[in-house]
Homo-oligomer: A and B are copies of this chain.
Amino acid sequence: MFTFALPKGSLLKDSISLLKSVGLDFSAFLDPSSRQLQIADPTGSAKALLVRAQDVPVYVEYGQAQVGIVGEDVLREKLPKVACLVDLGFGKCRMSVAVSEASRFTSALELPPHCRVASKSVRCAREYFQSLDLPVEIIPLYGSVELGPITGMAEAIVDLVSTGRTLKENGLVEIEVLFESTARLIAHPLSYRLYSDEFNTLIDKVRFAIASPAIAK
């Protein structure tokens, strides 16, 4: 019996739709009045944990969940020891560099050396600027990264952009895209080797489901 680690937040609804289309019903997690963090599918054939997106790879890496759904951005930031099984297609967003609309900078390479860049994705931001050979000071933040340029604390931010609405509302403009991200199906590597038949059945069902137009992309 598999345990799935599902991410709270923007990927949850599509993750639950996808699993429903492969015969697993975890829609109890969508009930806002429920505080349950651990449920079983009504058929008793699988369990699921509801955790923060960043914690999904932790539960999968330690084998407490054999399968997880998480954004590629989290995998790139945390580099967990998990197996990446399927690109699920939904949850499309991009990791971008953005600056104030009033700023004179139109590309990352124009940013002044040793300027400040605020980000929740410290590793992604650092690696990107290292790849440009541009030394910058990364300011690690937990939330509302857009306040960085607004308050003058940072010249730029590196943040996830989906519709671009938050950037626009805060007078920021995207100047570079580091990478595109989508939701991924991941697995505990040892479980994947031990239960390869069950995993391959699941992967086939998931691939069939995401190829069908009924699933929200």
Residues of A within 8 A of B (CB): 8, 35, 37-38, 49-52, 54-55, 58-59, 62, 64, 116, 139-144, 147, 150-153, 169
A150 touches B38 (CB 8 A): yes
Protomer copies: 2
A54 touches B150 (CB 8 A): no
Q: Can you list 23 pairs linking A and B with CB atoms under 8 Å apart?
A: A37-B144, A37-B147, A37-B150, A38-B151, A50-B144, A51-B143, A51-B144, A51-B147, A52-B142, A54-B142, A55-B141, A55-B142, A55-B143, A55-B144, A58-B141, A59-B147, A59-B153, A62-B116, A62-B139, A62-B153, A64-B151, A64-B152, A64-B153
- Shortest C-beta distance, A131 to chain B (Å), equals 25
From B54, B55, B59, B151, give the contact of A59 (CB < 8 A): B151
Q: Which residues of B contact A142 (CB under 8 A)?
A: 52, 54-55
